[in-house]
Structure 1
Amino acid sequence: MLLRWMNHHLKKAGYKKTVNNFSSDVKDGEAYAYLLKALAPETSPETTLETKDPDERAKMVLEQAEKLDCKRYLTPKDITEGSANLNLAFVAQIFQHRNGLTSDIKQVTLTQSASRDDVLVSREERAFRMWINSLGVGSYVNNVFEDVRNGWVLLEVLDKVSPGSVNWKLASKPPIKLPFRKLENCNQVVKIGKELKFSLVNLAGNDIVQGNKKLIVALLWQLMRFNILQLLNRLRSHSKGSQGKQITDADILNWANSKVKTSGRTSRMESFKDKSLSNGVFFLELLSAVQPRVVNWKVVTKGEADEEKKLNATYIISVARKLGCSVFLLPEDIIEVNQKMILTLTASIMYWSL
């Protein structure tokens, strides 16, 4: 939303580029200089744009922002090094104090213009970020689509979910200055993905380097799903003392329905995209089945109105976390029945209960 607002004003101010993130795209400070010139020309001297030194420009930008009563969330170094979280907080401060929008057009610009796909990708980015950081890899991910572009983080993830799959002798560790080294890392990621039988149609190493969100999401989802199924398989083989057949999506679905039915409840899900799941009742019954008395049914709604669905979805996540399940989705993912996130939620509950 803030990116759309920022680009809206940058375009009006004559800035030729599009800002796609709060890290590499704002490191030189130019976008901030144009933004402040558009929003507060009275505090924005031409020298901010004229200076060639990014450090000096970043310093001047922060001084101008302070005149608008923006809090100092970051330093000039944070801008030039592309600290995504601090830059996001800085932009939010500018928006709060001088957004340049009338109340009539705020909703149109920031809400209606955001397509459903953009919102979904944003939510999935958050889920994948939380999942990667939960794996305990060496790198900390602030922005998935930016941080995976050199291939290193993805190699770390692959080494976690499939130990021994990465040839570290052929990998380059950040900071990586030479573009072809990044491409080598990403090519190895794709190679390993294919060896793990991932469906990587149209995905090449360069797509990751270029930050192709759609293809990166497709890769990360298969990595996440692979990791979840591996955990379930290891747990089941350990409990049964034998390898047995590999767990599939259908096994997870059948397990969930069987648990709910055995507990004496009647709801069921036909698939992970079953629209009836939007009211949240099935998952609350599943949680109650795996841990009796964990659900306070007095606070559960029928899930008919949108607000009721949101209350139930929020409660599901709260209860699942209370049990110790690894939860990476948002209430909206349950309400809208995001097939991928619904699978991860069900698998996480199954993993906890086995």
Structure 2
Amino acid sequence: MSNSPSERSSSPELASAMMGDEMTDDAQQFQQIIRDRRYEREDIQKKAFTKWINNRLAEKSSTPPVTDLFQDLRDGVILLQLLEVLTGNECKRENGKMRVHHIENVNKVIAILNEHGIKLLSISSNDIVDGNAKLTLALIWSIIQYWQGKDVMKSAETDAEQTNIEKFLLAWCQEQTKGYKGVEINDFTRSWQDGLAFNALIHKFRPDLFDYDDILQNASARNLEHAFSVAKNVFKIDRYLDVEDVISDYPDKKSILMYVMCLFQQLPTSNIIIEDKEKTETSTTTTLTDDTTSTATKAPEEEIETQPRSDDDSMRLKTFQTNIDKVLKWVLNLENELDTQDKTLSDDLKTIKEQFQSHEEFMVSLTQDQNQIGEILLEGNQLLTSANFQLQPEEISEVKEKMKVLNDHWESLRSKSLERQAVLHKALMKLQIDQIESFDAWLTQTESRISTDLDILEQNLTGINRQYQQLAELQDELVSQQQITESLQNMIIVIDDSLSENLDPASKYSSTEIESKLLTLSERWAQICNFVQTRWIQLQEVKIEFEQIHTNLDKVEKWLATKEDEVNKMQEETNLTDQETFIQQVNTLEKTESEMADMRQAILLLNGSLQVLSQHYDSSTATEYNNLSNQIDTFEKRWTKLIDNLEHCSRLLKSANLTSSVDPKSDSELTHNKITTTVEETTTTTTTYDNTDESGDKKEKTDNENTVKLEFDVSARKYVDWIDSIERILSEKPSNTEERKNIIQEVKTKYVSYDDQFKSLVQTGIAITKELKDASEDSTEHESALRSLENRWQELSQLIVNYEKDVELADFNAELEAITKARNEYQTWIDSTSSNDELQV
């Protein structure tokens, strides 16, 4: 090539040449190599860090082991438990399952780390809660580096300025392995691949364990396995590393450094003083300047000429030049990518979030890949300062120039990235806070509407329908607000002191205040959703009952009014001997009797609806509910009076003793209907409950408890009505013995046929009593009603028995009277016959 290496490095054409089309494929290939290397390190770090955490948490027996590092740490609980072990202090935590609780826990972790001087740049609580792999590993490494490193530094006496754990351990390893064949430790990556460095450290302090020369010819994997086994069995150091992790083409520096920390702590070392080479050598720093005199002192040119560079050193220099050119090209491409990004700030929150997250990924990539920059600069610094590596003056200038160009472009790239991040974060926070305040205002307005319009149930159908419509509209609003709540759940909050100083003062809230406000909004949203769901169910139930009440109220009121008018007219009628009038009244009674069962059912449904409504209204304050209850009670009284009047009319018709060709229903037939009609639906109701109870599962039984109780009350009322009717019939005691026989026979037959169903109803009542007690509800009233019903049933049984005895006694007396009469008549005939015979004689 026409230009010298030095000219190529410093000329302006270098940048354009690196960004040219002919180098694009090489840049992409090198970038892919770096990314592949990053992913491999991520996998290795995940295994090593997981083992380290579980080893520490083993002190807390109640803590389950970590199995998936990125998932198990998301709620912040295990992180707080880890810090409890490391700090010895209790860390309070949120036990909730919501995202805001997890964020609060991670915020506490970050706050504790800040108290110990650990600054986490570009790591937010959202990153950990989201399971971001790279930033989770960065967080754990910060914890390991601080607490594990702190323990290491306690064991050593270092100079005041010696605070870099990596440099300290590197110098210590070099010092302890000096003179060991095959060991040259220059870093915490490739220097450890063959396993000799690990074995040399162990042999240095415990030469009695094995002969170092015996392992020199072993394969790398065997040497690593030997070192890890000895460390585990002798020094009780867990196997944080696997053999394949170290012999990889790209070993993970952090994992190896962590393992070396453990070795340092367990090996029998004390009072270690490592001299800082930066103070004893001319210059070993990686700081880049234009002054060539800052490099290490070189031997005279004559000596360089007499000591030509080896082929290995020439290859090392060539490899370095190739790598630094590729890395520089990669950095320039990233700068170009950043410069060509769309700088337009959208007013759409979703768009801004996407831009911010995209840039965050870009920043994470830089943070993760900056190790590659450090490694290449460290390699160049070693070339410049190594006493065993000779460079020509022009080569020194070229290396330094390339390192300076790379460092400048890298710092420029980082600076631009941070500025872009600050701009996006400022715009993002403004839109997010606007969304928070807008949602807060909607919640306040909705809470006011609920308090004014929906908090207290209306007491009539019109009001219930209005609330029903209002709640339906509110449900539609909840659906539309759902997207906002999801957005708030995924709100991005960056906890970064370096960024907070640049935020617009209009941000109003600190990150802690935002977290607290989000938690409050979440609770208020949940309360509204729960209220809407509960109130919707209540309104549906109350609405159905009110509609049924209005239907039955109108139906019963009209029927009672009509029948009361008809009965009044029948009672006022005096000319019952008129055949037409008689037939008309008999027909009226028949029609009324046929309608009574339906009307009785309607009244029972009204009672059932009232019982359901009593669960939703307080009788001491619900005026309209009380009016409705009083109206239904009035129906009951009017119903009883109507029954009495109908029976009175029936007796009047009987007493009329009309002799005609008309064959109206006799009083006994009316009595028969009264005996059989009242309880016709009782068996159906009871059987339905039993089948439901047997076939329904527990959930259905629980859901239908109120319905079952209502059905029981309806059936019980029917039995009470039937018992009342039978008692009235039996109390009349017709003078005709044959008619009384028929009545008692029919009553007895019906009683026996109803007895099984009655026993089933009693069992149902007992089951309801148990359910009420299990639910800790008051069962006193129900038990009292059940006992009263059983007593009435037994009393009716005894009444039937007594009535039957009375009929038998009356029958016996009638027969006795007939026999006595016949005897008297016969005696009279005999007496009269005897008298005639005497006269004849």
Same fold (TM over 0.5): yes
Tell me the SS of whatever aligns to 1:142. Answer: coil
Query: Which whole-Å CA distance do the structure 1 matches of 2:166 and 2:224 have between them?
Result: 22
- TM-score, normalised to structure 2, is 0.25
Aligned to 2:191: 276
Query: Which whole-Å CA distance do the structure 2 matches of 1:313 and 1:284 have between them?
Result: 8
Cα deviation 1:126-158 (Å, max 9, x = unaligned): 211111111124422121111100001111112
Q: Which stretch of structure 1 is more off in the superposition, 311-320 or 125-134?
A: 311-320
Shift of 1:236: 4.5
Aligned to 1:314: 225
Residue 177 of structure 2 corresponds to residue 260 of structure 1: yes
Contact 1:279/1:302 (<8 A) preserved: no
Which residue, out of 221, 232, 243, partners 1:331? 243
Distance of aligned partners of 1:295 and 1:133 in 2 relative to their CA distance in 1, 3 Å threshold? same
Tell me the SS of whatever aligns to 1:202. Answer: coil
Which residue, out of 92, 95, 107, partners 1:187? 107
Q: Which amino acid aligns with 2:226?
A: Y
Tell me the SS of whatever aligns to 2:84. Answer: helix
Cα deviation 1:306-343 (Å, max 9, x = unaligned): xx222222222112212223441111332233211221
Tell me the SS of whatever aligns to 1:279. Answer: coil
Query: Which whole-Å CA distance do the structure 1 matches of 2:180 and 2:122 have between them?
Result: 47
Aligned to 2:209: 294
After the TM superposition, which residues 5-20 of structure 1 pair with which residues of structure 2 at under 5 Å, given as runs? none
Query: Which whole-Å CA distance do the structure 2 matches of 1:235 and 1:115 have between them?
Result: 37
Distance of aligned partners of 1:326 and 1:245 in 2 relative to their CA distance in 1, 3 Å threshold? farther
**Structure 2: gaps of 5 or more residues:** 1-34, 270-841
Which residue, out of 140, 147, 152, partners 2:72? 147
Aligned to 1:216: 136
Distance of aligned partners of 1:118 and 1:250 in 2 relative to their CA distance in 1, 3 Å threshold? closer
Query: Which whole-Å CA distance do the structure 2 matches of 1:156 and 1:245 have between them?
Result: 31
Cα deviation 1:206-257 (Å, max 9, x = unaligned): 11111000100111111112221122234448xx9xx997572222111111
**Structure 1: gaps of 5 or more residues:** 1-113
Residue 268 of structure 2 corresponds to residue 343 of structure 1: no
After the TM superposition, which residues 161-172 of structure 1 pair with which residues of structure 2 at under 5 Å, given as runs? 161-164=86-89, 167-168=91-92, 171-172=93-94
Contact 1:161/1:227 (<8 A) preserved: yes
Query: Which whole-Å CA distance do the structure 1 matches of 2:224 and 2:261 have between them?
Result: 17
Query: Which whole-Å CA distance do the structure 2 matches of 1:260 and 1:317 have between them?
Result: 17
Which residue, out of 162, 167, 181, partners 1:250? 167
Query: Which whole-Å CA distance do the structure 2 matches of 1:120 and 1:317 have between them?
Result: 20
Residue 84 of structure 2 corresponds to residue 159 of structure 1: yes
Query: Which whole-Å CA distance do the structure 1 matches of 2:184 and 2:78 have between them?
Result: 38
- TM-score, normalised to structure 1, is 0.57
Contact 1:259/1:289 (<8 A) preserved: yes
Q: Which amino acid aligns with 1:179?
A: R
Q: Give RMSD over aligned pairs.
A: 2.9
Shift of 1:205: 0.5
Query: Which whole-Å CA distance do the structure 2 matches of 1:123 and 1:181 have between them?
Result: 30
Distance of aligned partners of 1:167 and 1:320 in 2 relative to their CA distance in 1, 3 Å threshold? closer
Distance of aligned partners of 1:119 and 1:254 in 2 relative to their CA distance in 1, 3 Å threshold? closer
Aligned to 1:120: 41
After the TM superposition, which residues 1-80 of structure 1 pair with which residues of structure 2 at under 5 Å, given as runs? none
Q: Which stretch of structure 1 is more off in the superposition, 197-206 or 285-294?
A: 197-206
Contact 1:327/1:348 (<8 A) preserved: no
Cα deviation 1:269-327 (Å, max 9, x = unaligned): 11223x23211212211111121132354762547xxxx22222222211221222344
Contact 2:180/2:200 (<8 A) preserved: no
Contact 1:182/1:209 (<8 A) preserved: yes
Query: Which whole-Å CA distance do the structure 1 matches of 2:102 and 2:180 have between them?
Result: 54
Q: Which amino acid aligns with 1:185?
A: N
Contact 1:190/1:203 (<8 A) preserved: no
Aligned to 1:15: none
Contact 1:128/1:220 (<8 A) preserved: yes
Aligned to 1:232: 152
Distance of aligned partners of 1:295 and 1:221 in 2 relative to their CA distance in 1, 3 Å threshold? farther
Query: Which whole-Å CA distance do the structure 2 matches of 1:221 and 1:295 have between them?
Result: 33
Distance of aligned partners of 1:214 and 1:345 in 2 relative to their CA distance in 1, 3 Å threshold? same
Cα deviation 1:168-188 (Å, max 9, x = unaligned): 2xx214xx3222111100112
Query: Which whole-Å CA distance do the structure 2 matches of 1:134 and 1:286 have between them?
Result: 23
Distance of aligned partners of 1:331 and 1:145 in 2 relative to their CA distance in 1, 3 Å threshold? same
Distance of aligned partners of 1:230 and 1:297 in 2 relative to their CA distance in 1, 3 Å threshold? same
Contact 2:241/2:255 (<8 A) preserved: yes
Q: Which amino acid aligns with 1:284?
A: N
Q: Which has the larger radius of gyration?
A: 2
Contact 1:333/1:341 (<8 A) preserved: no
Tell me the SS of whatever aligns to 2:245. Answer: helix
Aligned length: 226
Shift of 1:204: 0.6
Tell me the SS of whatever aligns to 2:230. Answer: helix
Q: Which amino acid aligns with 2:134?
A: K
Contact 1:127/1:329 (<8 A) preserved: yes
Query: Which whole-Å CA distance do the structure 2 matches of 1:269 and 1:145 have between them?
Result: 33
Aligned to 1:203: 123
Task: Considering fraction of residues, name the structure with more helix.
Answer: 2
Query: Which whole-Å CA distance do the structure 1 matches of 2:170 and 2:126 have between them?
Result: 36
Shift of 1:189: 1.5
Aligned to 1:70: none
